[in-house]
Structure 1
Amino acid sequence: MTADDPRLTARHVKGHVPVRIVMSQSLNLPEEANLWNVHDAYTIVATQRGARRDLQKKLALKGVEVVEFDMLNPRDVMSYCYDRGYLSVLWECGGTLAASAISASVIHKVYAFLAPKIIGGVNAPTPVGELGMNQMTQAIDLIDVSYEQIDRDMLMSGFIQPIPDLSPVIPSVDEMPSVDPEVSPYETNIISFYKTWDTFGAFSNFSPHPIHMPDENGDYFTWPTVEHYYQAHKFIGVDDPQAREIVQEIKLAKSPEEAARIGRTRQREFQELVRPDWDSIKIEVMYRATKRKFSTYSHLTDMLLSTAGSVLVEASPHDLFWGGGREGEGMNYLGRLLMQLRSEILGTIQTAVEVGEPA
């Protein structure tokens, strides 16, 4: 958006001018842009609750409608559009958002332009981001495909075959079953989470839910995500200026992905700067941060309790410690911690009910 400053209006033809919708979790958007000119077309900005209140006020003064979501994701945005009567939505987005929209099964038809040009490179843009599909046998097939040549380009369009919903039936919270965190992560009644835009993506360390926790000096600091807190604690407590610099670097990381990259890279490069007790305390560090996140955001607690009776699995295909792996070979410690936390909350509620106290 900052590169080309688009208008996203219907041009060169007469007819309906559609409503423009901008999705941004962090609201890291320019204060001045063509999209904020509501005389061209009405504009709605969908964002994470609490993101950049200052910019929200400025956009409102320009006539832009800002809508906050507890957990910004394509499915909830499409539900919102449906409630507003917007029944035909054209997604024009980058690879990351395209992947999340496809994963959420909110894309029905694809239009793809093929140009007679070749680009390549490690950082080259891709039309579709991470879908967890690395083999042709995993590819999503298009049906009713058609082709149209436009000048030197080729326009291909086709419908995405419905992706089956494999989510298990979630039992009522009233049943309050006792869940064993040691249960095999690939038995029946599984709820998987991985990407933040998944249905249960808020369970991820990368979810945009800041937590107020002590920093390396014992002072309370608002960590942008659980991942920031976790990665920084690899180096907190080490009496070395370089270790302290790494902690600051992680604290200032602009995204959880960047925080994870810094933490993992520095851990490999400077093993002598990693706290010596890290392997023995990392689960406790993760538990403290996760517990604070769920105690801070009541809607996340409700989401966690809604999974009672189901096995929670972080479906990371690469992390065999915190995740479940591709074939269930992972130890799934993040899923286990969440189930442990869920059991503790359910136990607290049950105790309060038994003694007649408000839960």
Structure 2
Amino acid sequence: MTTGLLALPTAVADPGPGARDGSRVEASAIRLRADPRSPVSAADVPVTDATSGPRRTSPYSMLGLTWRGTDPTSLRFRSHGREGWSAWRTAEVLEDGPTPGTEGRPRRATQPVWVGPSDGVQLDVRGSGHRDLRLVLIDPGVLPSDDDVQATAPAAAAQRPALRTTASKPRKRPKASPKPRLLTRPQWGANERLRNGRPTYNAGLRQVHVHHTASGNDYTRAQVPAILRGMYRYHTKSLGWFDLGYNFVVDRFGRTWVGRSGGPTRLVRGAHTLGFNHSSVGIAVLGNFERTRPSRRAVTAVVRLASWKLDRHRRDATGRVAVRSEGSDRYRAGKRVRLHVVDGHRDTNQTACPGELLYERLPGIRRRAQWRIDHYGRG
């Protein structure tokens, strides 16, 4: 079964996307609506098999699909932008999520995909058993701070810890792995009104879970805050989660962004690793690493962040730990599993995340994080 997009009853005067390259387009458009007091606009519309074909839209840059019931067997889309229609792409099913019953509605979803500036969309969804299928289009908008020099400075400035010195005191090495430079929620433009409730906190830290966002690799520095705003809107409004699911997000330029609210130095419970959120922190690298290698700067940022968090809680990055599952699609609730302290999402759930080419970097990430822990000592 092929499912097409349900047309909205909004007439358009022009032929819409595809007119320049000969594709047929229906004379109705999907209109995004602005969130109150926010640069973000979005549309969340039902999909049926009543009609098919390309659809004109208001400008958008991020796309996702949500549904109830079983997963479709195929989720493909193409977007229309300045260069015409893109090739057909597969949307990856989202396997991140909160602990069951703690936040959100029971909806399945794809990862939100960054497609860049677009004004048209076409879907090809196949399979049976899914219901209430909805298309989500998001335009994160632009803020003056997106291009701010402080928000776009490379992470190289955080390579060495800043140490205060005086004429009478010698330079001292930190007694613990130093905190990396963190870019804040206000710097990426988080609209705190979107949050659904308050943060909860874990009793301890046993693991660092590494993810990828599967959202695209060709973003610019200035687009990263917008991507985070789009993901945040998708997680909270489309999925009903309390907040952005990841505790931290690392981009390909080596910058580390605070994700979920509640305090980056605290043990905030995330919605990143279904069944294993209760004793961990989630770090997502922005991009898809099934066929693209993560940048050296991104890997280094993960090393610094993991070593800082683990050293604060007396954990060794190269070790293993026994963890009790709270219920995932790989380990039933109550099962005790022995896992790496620094692991990939696929170690706990049935998913390709964090992508083969990032997953193969995890042994090196563990060794480098442990070196930092050992080098700086434990005060």
Same fold (TM > 0.5): no
Higher relative contact order (CA 8 A, sep 6+): 2
More strand by share: 2
Structure label with greater radius of gyration = 1
- TM-score, length-normalised on structure 2? 0.26
Q: With structure 1 as the length reference, what TM-score do the two structures score?
A: 0.27
